[in-house]
Amino acid sequence: EVQLVETGGGLIQAGGSLRLSCTASGFSVSGYYMVWVRQAPGKGLEWIAFLYSIRDTYYADSVKGRFTISRDASKNTLYLQMDRLRAEDTAVYYCARGPSGYSYGSRFESWGQGALVTVSS
Amino acid sequence: QSVLTQPPSSSGTPGQRVTISCSGSSSNIGSNTINWYQQLPGTAPKLLIHSNNQRPSGVPDRFSGSKSGTSGALAISGLQSEDEADYFCAAWDDSLSGPVFGGGTKLTVL
């Protein structure tokens, strides 16, 4: 069974750093298009970063230069390093997986339960 | 503001058919497929419709999707109380080189 579990959320002061982890089971993160999507309180979904291969990483303008997506095949885990956090980064952060054979797209078949990040100003 | 446009709310009574629209542009819906997600209160989104009109295994056939030009729609027939949720459309955007989402539609079953 495919499962994604996010950890690492919490309360952080503006300007600080936090790293989210997304541990996968039932498949290898190395072979799939993986994405981080966030949802601010009471708001819609916003894509922020995705990764297909180690050379294929992309970021939304809102986080470019501050956030870094990466993965560790040996731990079967996807990461999101978040630096220079701002109050507007407060959201639930979800990791999600694309379908087999896809290197991009908006179709995400499996999602984690989400990790809440609260940035205080 | 979201790249794709959805009505913020919709409602219907049990057994009724409701439709939720999703409007985009030539760089997203106009040139790529639409996917729909259902988000029940307090839970993660779940893929409901992919590739414009395909249901993943386990999704009831009460749910259907369509696309025409730069717009799409999600239809729910035989509305049930458990369908009360937020619904989001999504598409790849060629100009932004990333997936984009609608702002979400909160469906209330009266």
Query: Between A43, A105, A111, which is nearest B92 by CB?
Result: A105
Residue A106 near chain B (CB below 8 Å): yes
pLDDT of the residue at A119: 98
3-class secondary structure, B78: coil
In b/e form, how buried is each residue of B46-70, taking b as 16+ CB within 10 angstroms?
Answer: bbbbbebeebeeebeeebbbebeeb
d(CA B97, CA B41): 30
Write the CA distances from B32 to B13, B29, B69, integer angstroms. 33, 5, 10
Mean pLDDT of chain A: 95
Q: What chain A residue is nearest to B3 in terms of C-alpha separation?
A: A46
d(CA B33, CA B28): 8
The predicted-structure confidence for B1-57, as pLDDT tens digits, reads as follows: 899 999 999 999 999 999 999 999 999 999 999 999 999 999 999 999 999 999 999
Contact between B56 and A106 using a beta-carbon 8 Å cutoff = no
Contact between A47 and B99 using a beta-carbon 8 Å cutoff = yes
Q: What DSSP letter does each residue of B9-67 carry, written as one string?
A: EEEE-TT--EEEEEE--TTTTTTS-EEEEEE-TTS--EEEEBTTTBPPTT--TTEEEEE
Place of tokens 């731990």: A75
The predicted-structure confidence for A30-81, as pLDDT tens digits, reads as follows: 989 999 999 999 999 999 999 987 678 999 999 999 999 999 999 999 999 9
Reported as a pLDDT band with limits 50, 70 and 90, residue A101 is confident
d(CA B106, CA B110): 12
Chain A: closest CA distance from residue B75 (Å):
19
